[in-house]
Amino acid sequence: MVDLSTTYYEILAIIFCLLVLALVSMAEAAMVSLNKVRLRTLAEVGDSRAQLVDRLTDDRHSLLASLIITLNICLLAISAFSTDLFLHYAGEEWLPLLSLGMIFILLSLFEVTPKALGLRHAERIALFLARPTAVLIWMLAPFIWVFTRAGRAIISAIIVPVLGGKVRGTFQPLTDEEIKQLVAAGHQEGALGEEEREMLHSAIEFADKVAREVMVPRTDMVCVSETTTASEAVDIGIKSGFSRIPVYSSDLDHIVGILYMQDLLARLIAGEHQATVSDLMRPPYFVPESKKIDELLRDMQGRRIHMAIIIDEYGGVSGLATIEDVLEEIVGEIRDEYDIAEKEPLRMLDGNTAIAQARVSPDDVAERFSVTLPEGEFDTLGGFLIDRLGRLPEVGDKIKYGPLLFEIESIREQRIERIRITR
């Protein structure tokens, strides 16, 4: 004869375990998918529940361990009580059907559905379940400690030797791609603006760039001869708008100094109008094309200089780089009063069309249009197009690559100036 009181207790126990199972499933999904930026904002304005959730999610190991232990205890209890009830009222032959029914009910109603709710209303549910979750972690702390030590012992004694590896620390440095994914997630959630996202991407890629990629090419350099007089040099400085100008002796491959406009003006104010540039110039700083720009920036800061002359592998001058050129790789174009007339390197006309200067990086074009462009022996979009053409460019030339069509709109002295890009 079946004891009805026992039956009632078992039914109540099953209902209780199902309720706990649903709440724990919701808590797990909500805590893991929370917007941490939003949570920190709530915590900073004094929301005690947000502060508690922030502490709980900082120790994810204890949080997840306690939730998993509770889930498994509930599943075992539900299985034991429901099996006992079924054996008393239906018979052993119906156990397979019971198992299938319980699997369907548990997965659909008490696992998938609560997790979906937890993901959809993560903040509200996490705050609502913050205190019960904290109590649960406190109650299960001894079990978490035991299971953690046992798990590590098993991994060290059995799993690691089988895999032939070593036990690694809990902290693994993030790769550049993983950091970019985090930045993209922050942008999608609204925590980062477009400019912040681009700046963080640039900072991530900063250490991989070399001087050749940021330099002003030799053909665009404004230089003066060492025999130029102070009066002539000041005219060149005014027309160019530059405060520092390289000085050469016989040709551009023989840079002998850097002329600072402040030194020049000091001499002119003193009445030395016939002084030559060679009397005023400062020693130049030479670096190879392959020098990393993060190292270049540190060197320039340490030496307190603002311009470096870039040398190619054959010892010839290939260009120059300023601190401004290096910093622009992180913060974007830095415009002063002399840069107002300069054209944007990459200007979007609409979502599918842009006008680009030849000096723009292929990486910038690829990122703006969400495409992939090949790497090669070039650092600019103009170099990429010449590489694809295999000859000197002409106005009107069109190059198709993937979904993009590049049309050369203007050329100056056999150099590409402006390109129209259409997707």
- pLDDT reported for residue 335: 61
Residue 338 has pLDDT above 90, yes or no: no
- pLDDT reported for residue 111: 78
Helix and strand totals (H; E) in the chain = 19, 12
- 227: exposed, middle or buried (Cβ count in 10 Å: 0-12, 13-18, 19+): exposed
Task: Tell me the average pLDDT across 233-242.
Answer: 87
Give me the percent of the chain exceeding a pLDDT of 70.
85
Task: Tell me the average pLDDT across 53-64.
Answer: 84
- pLDDT reported for residue 178: 64
Strand 317-322 versus strand 216-217 pairing type: antiparallel
Task: Tell me the average pLDDT across 268-290.
Answer: 85
Least confident window among 10-19, 168-177, 302-311: 168-177
Torsion of CA 360, 361, 366, 372, to 10 degrees: 140
pLDDT in tens, 83-99: 887 777 766 666 677 77
Residue 182 has pLDDT above 80, yes or no: no
Report how far residue 76's alpha carbon sits from residue 366's, in angstroms, rounded to the nearest whole number.
Answer: 54
pLDDT in tens, 137-172: 898 888 888 877 877 777 677 765 665 555 455 445
Mean pLDDT of the chain: 82
Query: Cα dihedral sign for 54, 60, 62, 67?
Result: positive
